[in-house]
A and B are shown apart, each in its own frame.
Chain A
Amino acid sequence: DSGVTQTPKHLITATGQRVTLRCSPRSGDLSVYWYQQSLDQGLQFLIQYYNGEERAKGNILERFSAQQFPDLHSELNLSSLELGDSALYFCASSVAPSSYEQYFGPGTRLTVT
């Protein structure tokens, strides 16, 4: 158990819909990262927040947005969902803003039908 929690574990929704994925980092970690893992793209970095501020952005679509709240939990919002958005979404956390020792949650499996 990494100490990072993610909810929900599974999510099934229809195209065009909007969903919110939630992540709670390990106690004491200020940085949160979001990654997407699909069958054809592998693990890809989406976005990072540090202490409430956006720190780095990767291959995140404009239909996707995220934020980190004062209690340090983070939410990833996915809108206008397409079939290709079906994937595992992982959240990771670290103590420092530039740490590659990241601790990953169990993931949320999103299925868009």
Chain B
Amino acid sequence: DAKTTQPPSMDCAEGRAANLPCNHSTISGNEYVYWYRQIHSQGPQYIIHGLKNNETNEMASLIITEDRKSSTLILPHATLRDTAVYYCIVKGAVDGNKLVFGAGTILRVKS
């Protein structure tokens, strides 16, 4: 599995966009980028995933650089309820079934 690097913490003002970076310089061609988040002591929540094209859903947008060595999760209008630990995970499509969670980024949304 490709290793990911995320900043340990970030702050964001309520109503502004939150941009969470992830570096995955050793990603290989068949590996996807997944994002999950965990709000304090709740079960992790799937957010979005992508291979090489940018993706958007009702929760967030995922921007993957052309060389695929990094990505950014964008929460367009952060609210206090978006305060959570955000995990960037890189996995191959047939790479085993377990999700490997690193330390993630603690995002604090402030009013």
Query: Is the pair B46, A43 in contact by a Cβ cutoff of 8 Å?
Result: no
Main secondary structure, interface of B, reads: loop
Binding site for B on A (CB under 8 A): 2, 4, 31, 33, 35, 42-45, 48, 55-56, 58, 88, 90, 92, 97-107, 109
Chain B residues with Cβ below 8 Å from A48 are 97-98
Beta-carbon nearest neighbor of A46 in chain B:
B98
Which residue in A2, A44, A58 is a CB contact (below 8 Å) of B43?
Answer: A2
Chain B residues with Cβ below 8 Å from A97 are 97
Q: How far is the CB of A8 from chain B (nearest CB, A)?
A: 15
Q: How far is the CB of A49 from chain B (nearest CB, A)?
A: 10
Q: How far is the CB of A104 from chain B (nearest CB, A)?
A: 3
Q: How far is the CB of B104 from chain A (nearest CB, A)?
A: 9
In the complex, what distance in Å separates the CA atom of A44 from the CA atom of B100?
7
Query: Is the pair A58, B98 in contact by a Cβ cutoff of 8 Å?
Result: yes
Chain A residues with Cβ below 8 Å from B99 are 33, 35, 43, 45, 100, 102
In the complex, what distance in Å separates the CA atom of A31 from the CA atom of B99?
14
User: What 10 A-B pairs come out closest when comparing CB atoms?
Assistant: A104-B43, A45-B98, A43-B101, A56-B97, A104-B44, A48-B97, A90-B43, A100-B91, A58-B98, A100-B34
Chain A residues with Cβ below 8 Å from B96 are 56
Beta-carbon nearest neighbor of B42 in chain A:
A106
B41 within 8 A of A: yes
Query: Is the pair B91, A43 in contact by a Cβ cutoff of 8 Å?
Result: no
